[in-house]
């Protein structure tokens, strides 16, 4: 067993042992249905199982299509995918051999496929191009789209080589914002141009001159893939988000090892958007942004056995940006461990938005040296200056925090910052115990929130209504 798998297995085992006791009641919040706990989560009594032997898959090895280690293997991968997708043999398997590294340009593996079940078995390493000039505005590195019953697994590695994107991000290089903004373009100097030894005059008028920041691509993107399984992969150093699940139904994500430096901007670990019945289990995520982010259109999402840190914690949102309508419901986050994160479990919604975030449970969670362990921010705005409160907001209701213990690096461990126009309603805290470093006294800050606190809780939050 390699060090990565040993670490994953060890943390998963410890997390399970820590929480082998009865959970607090969660009757007031609807739990995800059984089908949310993985594509094969049917009851044993659901009917007689088909016990006929499963035929071996037809294997399509990318090496047989001309892929070679070190060279550009994109065309070979696409050719192998085309044959695997259109194969009359079922199931079919696209094989990336172990012990080799393949360079892949931005690529899209699309369906629908003739094969009713298709597996991408990634045993080797996939390398993204490190030079930003080859991307030509592409927003994704590896995309799977419109492929049902897709399995992506194999123990291999996806390396996004995102360093060049990070150092040219406006969040990291503050000079790019102040010196190369449209209002100060004549102050732009050579260092902030995209490439080349350009003079000041050339820099101003060159087509390479960038007036605004450009978002980095997502490493692994799944769109409209129902009955999706993603298992046992390492995804590292993505240009921006690492794994995105978008417009999917019944997706099971497990045993992912997602890593990027804590300072890398916008490198969310697993991002769920507009998807239903999604499970995320037994994953280690260490990034520069949210370990898990769940945004609008997502329902019945279950996350369990998650190790998070460094990063920005586990987030619902942001929701309602640009005065949009957003909805997230029926989310269960449990058996998580967060270490050294800027936030623990967070719900954030933009001012001026509409919609709802409801029936959300955070339970059986350990936190160590977390800056904002529990936070709801209904007045979120991405600005250094305070934003004036607006008349509309995304409604937040039926939120439960059960059995959350650990340490906070800030004096205010619990923050409920809610709108005066649309209050936070039905917040329940039960068996929450957060202490400061060296036993320091902690506080709860609650504004415009209806909070119920049965049992012992520390810090204690009052119903601010």
> Per-residue pLDDT for 210 more than 50?
no
Query: Which tokens sit at 459?
Result: 């810090």
Helix (H, G, I), strand (E, B) or coil at 17: helix
**Contacting residues for 48 by C-beta, under 8 A, at least 6 apart:** none
Measured over the CA atoms of residue 210, residue 214, residue 219 and residue 222, the dihedral's sign is negative
DSSP string, 141-201: EEEEES-SSEEEESS-EEE--THHHHHTSTTT-HHHHHHSSGGGGGG--GGGSSSS---HH
> Per-residue pLDDT for 322 more than 70?
yes
Domain annotation for the chain: domains and CATH numbers: 170-205 (no CATH), 290-465 (2.160.20.10)
**Contacting residues for 279 by C-beta, under 8 A, at least 6 apart:** 32, 36, 37, 38, 251, 252, 253, 254, 301, 302, 303, 304
Instruction: Give the whole-angstrom CA distance, residue 259 versus residue 291.
Output: 10
Predicted local confidence at residue 441, as pLDDT: 83
First to last CA, the chain: 55
> Per-residue pLDDT for 310 more than 60?
yes
> Per-residue pLDDT for 65 more than 50?
yes
Strand intervals (E) in 86-156: 92-96, 101-103, 107-110, 118-122, 125-127, 140-145, 150-153
Residue closest to 386 by CA, chosen among 355, 346, 417? 417
Contact between 140 and 245 (Cβ < 8 Å):
no
Give residue-wise pLDDT tens across range 158-199: 999 999 999 887 777 655 553 344 433 333 333 333 333 333
Instruction: Give the whole-angstrom CA distance, residue 22 versus residue 204.
Output: 65
- Supply the pTM of this predicted model: 0.83
Predicted local confidence at residue 114, as pLDDT: 96
Output 1 or 438, whichever has higher pLDDT: 438
Which of 151, 227, 271, 312 is catalytic? The answer is 312
Output 33 or 171, whichever has higher pLDDT: 171
Give residue-wise pLDDT tens across range 135-154: 877 789 999 999 999 999 99
Instruction: Based on the residue annotation, tell me whether 312 is a catalytic residue of this protein.
Output: yes
Instruction: Give the whole-angstrom CA distance, residue 301 versus residue 150.
Output: 19
Predicted local confidence at residue 27, as pLDDT: 39
73 CB neighbour count, 10 Å cutoff: 26
């Amino acid at each position: 067993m390699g060090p990565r798998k040993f670490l994953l297995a060890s943390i998963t085992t410890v997390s399970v042992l820590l929480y082998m006791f009865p959970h607090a009641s969660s009757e007031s919040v609807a739990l995800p249905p059984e089908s949310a706990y993985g594509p094969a989560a049917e009851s044993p009594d659901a009917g007689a199982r088909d016990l006929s032997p499963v035929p071996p898959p037809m294997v399509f090895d990318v090496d047989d299509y001309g892929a070679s280690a070190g060279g550009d293997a994109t065309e070979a991968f696409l050719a192998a995918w085309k044959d695997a997708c259109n194969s009359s043999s079922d199931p079919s398997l696209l094989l990336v051999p172990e012990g080799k590294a393949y360079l892949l340009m931005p690529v899209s593996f699309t369906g629908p496929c003739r094969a009713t079940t298709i597996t991408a078995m990634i045993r080797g390493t996939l390398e993204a191009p490190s030079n930003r000039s080859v991307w030509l505005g592409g927003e994704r590195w590896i995309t799977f789209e419109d492929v049902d019953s897709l399995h992506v697994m194999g123990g291999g590695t996806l390396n996004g080589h995102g360093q060049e994107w990070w150092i040219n991000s406006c969040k990291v290089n503050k000079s790019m914002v102040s010196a190369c903004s449209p209002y100060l373009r004549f102050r732009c100097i050579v260092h902030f141009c995209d490439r080349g030894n350009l003079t000041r005059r050339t820099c101003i008028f060159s087509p390479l001159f960038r007036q605004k920041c450009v978002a980095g691509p997502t490493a692994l993107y799944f769109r409209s893939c129902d009955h999706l399984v993603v298992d046992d992969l390492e995804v590292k150093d993505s240009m921006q988000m690492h794994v995105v699940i978008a417009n999917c139904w019944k997706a099971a994500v497990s045993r992912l090892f997602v890593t990027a430096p804590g300072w890398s901007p916008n490198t969310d670990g697993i991002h769920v958007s507009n998807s239903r019945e999604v499970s995320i289990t037994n994953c280690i995520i260490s990034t520069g942004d949210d370990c898990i982010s769940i945004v609008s259109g997502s329902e019945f999402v279950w996350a369990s056995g998650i190790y998070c840190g460094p990063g920005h914690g586990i987030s619902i949102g942001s929701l309602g940006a640009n005065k949009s309508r957003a909805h997230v419901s029926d989310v269960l986050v449990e058996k998580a461990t967060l270490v050294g994160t800027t936030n623990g479990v967070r719900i954030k919604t933009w001012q001026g938005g509409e919609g709802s975030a409801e029936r959300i449970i955070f339970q059986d969670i350990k936190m160590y040296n977390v800056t904002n362990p529990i936070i709801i921010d209904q007045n979120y705005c991405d600005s250094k200056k305070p934003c004036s409160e607006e008349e509309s907001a995304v409604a937040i209701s039926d939120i439960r925090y059960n059995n959350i213990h650990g340490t906070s690096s800030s004096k205010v461990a619990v923050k409920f910052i809610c709108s005066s126009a649309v209050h936070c309603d039905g917040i329940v805290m039960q068996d929450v115990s957060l202490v400061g470093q060296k036993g320091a006294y902690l506080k709860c800050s609650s504004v415009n929130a209806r909070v119920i606190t049965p049992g012992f809780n520390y810090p204690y939050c009052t119903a601010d209504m």
